[in-house]
A and B are shown apart, each in its own frame.
Chain A
Amino acid sequence: MADFLLEIGLEEVPARMIAGAEAELGRRVKDLLTRERLLSTEAKLTTYSTPRRLAVLAAGVLTSQEDTEEKLTGPSWKIAFKDGAPTAAAVAFARKAGVEVSALEKVATAKGEYVGATVKRAGRATAELLAAELPREVLSLYWAKNMYWRAGKPERFVRPVRWVVALLDAAIVPLEIAGIRAGNASRGHRVLHGETPVVVDAAKSYTDTLRAGKVVVDVAERRQSIRKALDKATRTVPGARWREDAALVETVVHLTEWPTVILGDFESEYLALPEEVLVTVMRDHQKYFAVEGADGKLAPHFLAVLNTEADEEGAAIIRHGNAGVLRSRFKDAQFFWNFDQKTPLVDRVESLKAVTFQKELGSYYWKTEQDLAVAGKLAATVKAACVAFDEAALRKAVELAKTDLTAELVKEFTELQGIIGGLYARAQGLGETVAKAIYDQYTPASTEDAIPQTVEGQLLGLADRIQTITAMFGIGAAPTGSKDPFALRRAANAVVKIVAESGLPLTIGDVITATGPSTPEQAETFLFLAERIGFYLKDVRGFAYDVVNAVMAAGYDDVRDAIARAEALTNVRDSEDFLAISAAFKRIKNIVRQAEEKGEVFSVTWKDGKFYGELVQPEEKALIKAFDEVEGKVSELRAKRDYRAALETVATLRPAVDAFFEKVMVMSPDPELRKARLGMIRQVREGLAGIADFSEIVTG
């Protein structure tokens, strides 16, 4: 048993790609060792990474495969041996099996006696096997963007491979990756250790050896040490806290081999800039953490995660340098902010004519005109339902929503579009309602994100997105498969989320028809949104897929109603009676479908009395009666949207349904009776399918 270490030394890998590559390398090594029967039962595999390396340490690896024995069966004994002498058939079989003729055995089988051979295969040595197989695995790693680097060589990788360490305990595994022969020499931190090789004596001492070379190879350890160091540095400011930012922590974890943290300051005059701008500069442009005071407001400090460990003089220099860069970025932002105020948003509408929304559709001026029309229709629907909101403010917000695209500050910080528009609207005295609606127009940006807080913001967000979706569908730019270059799925997810969570009296149909007279694109959009509603119910609200299918089969135009039905169905689905009903309805669906496939013609309008008299057995008459009562109650409860009680009422049908299926044969030889029964059971199922199609519920 041995430990196997593989370390691939690289030039700095992009931070965003490291975690995925580390996991994939671990998986590939594990799969290879498993496939080749090299993992012992107590084997343990650990992966490591830094910007300059990906590594796998597998403890409990066999040093060679076990020898194997295989029994082969050949021709029948009679054919292989004539008078005790081997025939050509015996010789051929022996050659094929790789054994001497004298080693052939007699095997008794049910069909008679046959020639057998025992083939022994010596297991291959692990080192040899890894040398042959591992390079291909490494070079197959997926990278979002890769490069060529060796002249005339076809291999592509994220960055050039500069060294490889491959050890089976202390022995070098003689493999070669992209022209680099594996050895036992790794490298330490560029500056803190320098260029002297870091020799790894044995696979198992990998992490300690690298630590001595000023490299922490364990990602979790770096993450923890960064968090601790952030805490510690922040404690030097009384009452302060650093702004939690898990994504930024991950980024800096993958930018460092030996992380430390410094706290720096900036002039408090910059706190006059909006917090959004300050945080974006710090986080997105400088990868600094923001610091807030006890009051939750930004404090004039920043935290930078360094990839070094400086002495006091060095720390002062580094702090000074970082603060200088931050100051000049803030100064820029301040300049742009002041510059932009010279042209208020209301004077920027015309200039949207020069900003392309989509080449085949038009400019953002065109887009704004369209959005105004859509928002107007939505507003009318909402107003008709007596929802109070400021219609003039909505109009103003839609009109100005895109004007910040012409602002210098947005050109500098594109991720702040909308937000900056909202801040400018507030600063320019356009009123809080207008400002808030513009500010929130791009929320929710993801399914976890909250929807706009105000009715005006919600309507603006809906109008903007549904206009984009239908217009894009109109020019054939609908998403296909994994391709969604205009992020229309995200836009549709936001539409669903706003409709579902806002309380606005709008159905999906209302939202779509607000884009204008009916077009084929609207029908397409409806189906596209149906898919997104399914996604929302399953992935955002966490309903089981069968519940979602059952509920959506009964309609989804009213999203909140679909949610209420899904909640009710989730509550009752596991009751014994309900499961029985679901199973029975599935049975009905199948019987009806099969009958239809055979060309049976039957009506569901049994209630007009036509089939009533045809039914002869008490169980079927009882079922009708029970259904009649249940349907009446269910309709009432449904009208009151008391879905839970409605579904519980449906469940009371169980005894009648059970008795029916126990005693009655639907497919009676008498055609009239058959028709009557088919019609009846279909009516039972369909008459109660208004809340959900229970036959979709998985009962097994």
Chain B
Amino acid sequence: MPSTPVASSLSSSALTFQELLFRLQNFWAERGCVLQQPYDVEVGAGTMAPETFLRVLGPKPYRVGYAQPSRRPADGRYGENPKRLFKHTQFQLILKPPPVNVQELYLESLEAIGIDLGKHDLKFEEDNWEWPAGGAWGVGWQVMLDGLEITQFTYFQQCGGMDLDPICAELTYGLERIAAFLQDVDSIYDIVWARDLETGAAVTYGEVRLAEELQFSVYNFEVADVAKLWEHFNLYEAEAKTLIDQADALLHSETAGAAEKKRFPLLATYELALKCSNLFNLLDARGAISVTERVGVIGRIRALTVGVAKAYALQQSETASSSLTA
């Protein structure tokens, strides 16, 4: 595409992919957020990382931000589609409870990444969010900038099948989209990821990630062994179930002490549930889950995530109250 005057005026000062992340991190760190690292187990969205899924439960205020590579095997396109990725990067932010000026803060964060709102069209359009396999939903918006959805803004209402009190605001910035927009490139693979300040030499998104997109598309669509995937799924599910049952008995026990309850490995149990979720996505990409089976398998994952969430909420309240009395 020929470069228009508009395009060059946009891209000349545009942030690199990594600068975009730095700016967002700095912006929110300055506003009291804990900066976390990406969670190191496969997830389909930043919401599924325990820093969101488990931290939103219970009364304790928390503010956290992290970049989360999010895997959606069925969305892979062998690196051939300029707009679709198997793995994209979300900058995920949780503000619990949401400050009254949360929208204004969000708009400031856009200014912080170089978007002059006076020269763009911004709309908050209704878009409610739900993750049935996690018993989670909320109401909110897709934030549209010049017709492009750049952020999902959700007021979480329920998680793990439980009402949240306080609720929290979840902001999910789609980093590839925003970077492509800021740099005015048509293909995600043309995004400048980093630039050598001395030579001006650029490393593109394609150089960093294209091979991964290609190879994982091959694996997800062609190679992954369906029987093995089911085997893994069943193994993780069985272990998770056993642990959830144990947690349930222990946390409801009147004889068990606070220390014993506190050390029960629910965080590890949650990882087993996440493994199941990712395996489901892989099976789905392989076309191994029929429409009729689908609902059933989602129900199995939901039983795990909701089971962990309920136990986790109980563990928090039990150990919090006992530490007060101790």
By a beta-carbon cutoff of 8 Å, the part of chain A in contact with chain B is 11-12, 14-16, 51, 145-152, 159-160, 162, 190-191, 195, 255-256, 286, 288, 304, 306-308, 310-311, 313-314, 316-318, 320-322, 324-326, 328, 332, 335, 354-356, 359
B59: which A residues are within 8 A, CB to CB? 151
**Chain A residue at minimum C-beta to C-beta distance from B84:** A332
8 smallest CB-CB distances across A and B, nearest first, come from: A321-B146, A14-B126, A151-B166, A314-B119, A12-B124, A322-B147, A306-B121, A325-B147
Whether the Cβ atoms of B291 and A355 lie closer than 8 Å is yes
Whether the Cβ atoms of A152 and B98 lie closer than 8 Å is no
Whether the Cβ atoms of A320 and B7 lie closer than 8 Å is yes
- The A-B contact count (CB < 8 A) is 118
A190: which B residues are within 8 A, CB to CB? 107, 117, 122
Q: Given A191-B118, A322-B146, A152–B107 Cβ distance below 8 Å?
A: no
What bracket does the count of chain B residues touching chain A fall in?
35 or more
Bound together, the chains give a CA A303 to CA B146 distance in angstroms of 12
Whether the Cβ atoms of B81 and A335 lie closer than 8 Å is yes
Whether, in the assembled complex, B103 has its beta carbon less than 8 Å from a beta carbon of chain A, the answer is: yes
Whether, in the assembled complex, B145 has its beta carbon less than 8 Å from a beta carbon of chain A, the answer is: yes
A160: which B residues are within 8 A, CB to CB? 100, 155
Whether the Cβ atoms of B122 and A307 lie closer than 8 Å is yes
Q: Given A354-B290, A356-B292, A318–B146 Cβ distance below 8 Å?
A: yes
A288: which B residues are within 8 A, CB to CB? 147
Shortest distance from the beta carbon of B324 to any chain A beta carbon, whole Å:
19
Bound together, the chains give a CA A290 to CA B124 distance in angstroms of 22
Shortest distance from the beta carbon of B70 to any chain A beta carbon, whole Å:
20
Bound together, the chains give a CA A307 to CA B124 distance in angstroms of 10
Shortest distance from the beta carbon of A81 to any chain B beta carbon, whole Å:
64
Whether the Cβ atoms of A321 and B291 lie closer than 8 Å is no
A-B contact pairs, 19 of them (CB 8 A): A12-B123, A12-B125, A12-B126, A145-B139, A147-B139, A147-B167, A151-B59, A151-B97, A288-B147, A306-B121, A307-B121, A308-B121, A310-B121, A318-B120, A320-B4, A324-B148, A328-B186, A356-B291, A359-B292
**Chain B residue at minimum C-beta to C-beta distance from A11:** B103
Whether, in the assembled complex, B165 has its beta carbon less than 8 Å from a beta carbon of chain A, the answer is: yes
By a beta-carbon cutoff of 8 Å, the part of chain B in contact with chain A is 4-7, 9-10, 59, 81-83, 97-98, 100, 103-104, 107, 117-126, 128, 138-139, 141, 145-148, 155, 157, 163-167, 181, 184, 186, 290-292
Which of the residues A307, A317, A354 comes within 8 Å of B123, measured between beta carbons?
Answer: A307
Q: Given A195-B104, A313-B119, A354-B291, A255–B125 Cβ distance below 8 Å?
A: yes
Q: Given A320-B6, A321-B120, A149–B147 Cβ distance below 8 Å?
A: no
Q: Given A191-B117, A286-B147, A359-B292, A149–B165 Cβ distance below 8 Å?
A: no
Bound together, the chains give a CA A317 to CA B11 distance in angstroms of 12
Q: Given A151-B97, A356-B291, A317–B6 Cβ distance below 8 Å?
A: yes
A191: which B residues are within 8 A, CB to CB? 117-118, 122
Among A191, A332, A356, residue most surrounded by chain B Cβ atoms (within 10 Å)? A191
A146: which B residues are within 8 A, CB to CB? 139
B97: which A residues are within 8 A, CB to CB? 151
Bound together, the chains give a CA A356 to CA B289 distance in angstroms of 13
Shortest distance from the beta carbon of A57 to any chain B beta carbon, whole Å:
26
A311: which B residues are within 8 A, CB to CB? 119
Bound together, the chains give a CA A191 to CA B120 distance in angstroms of 9
Bound together, the chains give a CA A159 to CA B148 distance in angstroms of 23
Bound together, the chains give a CA A565 to CA B147 distance in angstroms of 54
Q: Given A162-B100, A324-B186, A332-B83, A317–B167 Cβ distance below 8 Å?
A: no
Shortest distance from the beta carbon of A490 to any chain B beta carbon, whole Å:
24
Contacts A307-B121, A310-B121 aside, 9 further interface pairs with beta carbons under 8 A come to A148-B157, A151-B166, A195-B104, A313-B9, A317-B10, A321-B147, A322-B147, A335-B81, A359-B292
**Chain B residue at minimum C-beta to C-beta distance from A146:** B139
Which of the residues B10, B145, B165 comes within 8 Å of A151, measured between beta carbons?
Answer: B165
Bound together, the chains give a CA A288 to CA B125 distance in angstroms of 14
Shortest distance from the beta carbon of B159 to any chain A beta carbon, whole Å:
13
Bound together, the chains give a CA A313 to CA B9 distance in angstroms of 10
A147: which B residues are within 8 A, CB to CB? 138-139, 155, 157, 167
B186: which A residues are within 8 A, CB to CB? 324, 328
**Chain A residue at minimum C-beta to C-beta distance from B107:** A190
Shortest distance from the beta carbon of A209 to any chain B beta carbon, whole Å:
21
A316: which B residues are within 8 A, CB to CB? 5-6
Bound together, the chains give a CA A324 to CA B138 distance in angstroms of 30
Bound together, the chains give a CA A359 to CA B292 distance in angstroms of 7
Among B9, B141, B291, residue most surrounded by chain A Cβ atoms (within 10 Å)? B291
B124: which A residues are within 8 A, CB to CB? 11-12, 51
Among B98, B100, B126, B292, residue most surrounded by chain A Cβ atoms (within 10 Å)? B126
Bound together, the chains give a CA A160 to CA B102 distance in angstroms of 11
B146: which A residues are within 8 A, CB to CB? 317-318, 320-322, 325
**Chain B residue at minimum C-beta to C-beta distance from A310:** B119
B117: which A residues are within 8 A, CB to CB? 190-191
Shortest distance from the beta carbon of A374 to any chain B beta carbon, whole Å:
24
Bound together, the chains give a CA A145 to CA B157 distance in angstroms of 12
Whether the Cβ atoms of A325 and B148 lie closer than 8 Å is yes
B128: which A residues are within 8 A, CB to CB? 145
A355: which B residues are within 8 A, CB to CB? 291
Q: Given A314-B118, A328-B186, A359-B292, A321–B145 Cβ distance below 8 Å?
A: yes
**Chain B residue at minimum C-beta to C-beta distance from A162:** B100
Whether the Cβ atoms of B120 and A317 lie closer than 8 Å is yes
Which of the residues B7, B148, B167 comes within 8 Å of A149, measured between beta carbons?
Answer: B167
Whether the Cβ atoms of B165 and A317 lie closer than 8 Å is no
Whether the Cβ atoms of B122 and A15 lie closer than 8 Å is no
Bound together, the chains give a CA A398 to CA B145 distance in angstroms of 44
Shortest distance from the beta carbon of B84 to any chain A beta carbon, whole Å:
9
Bound together, the chains give a CA A561 to CA B231 distance in angstroms of 65
B141: which A residues are within 8 A, CB to CB? 12
A152: which B residues are within 8 A, CB to CB? 165-166
Whether the Cβ atoms of A318 and B100 lie closer than 8 Å is no
Shortest distance from the beta carbon of B174 to any chain A beta carbon, whole Å:
13
B166: which A residues are within 8 A, CB to CB? 150-152
Shortest distance from the beta carbon of A644 to any chain B beta carbon, whole Å:
53
Bound together, the chains give a CA A313 to CA B7 distance in angstroms of 11
Bound together, the chains give a CA A14 to CA B141 distance in angstroms of 9
A12: which B residues are within 8 A, CB to CB? 123-126, 141
Bound together, the chains give a CA A148 to CA B167 distance in angstroms of 7
A148: which B residues are within 8 A, CB to CB? 157, 163-165, 167
Shortest distance from the beta carbon of A223 to any chain B beta carbon, whole Å:
17
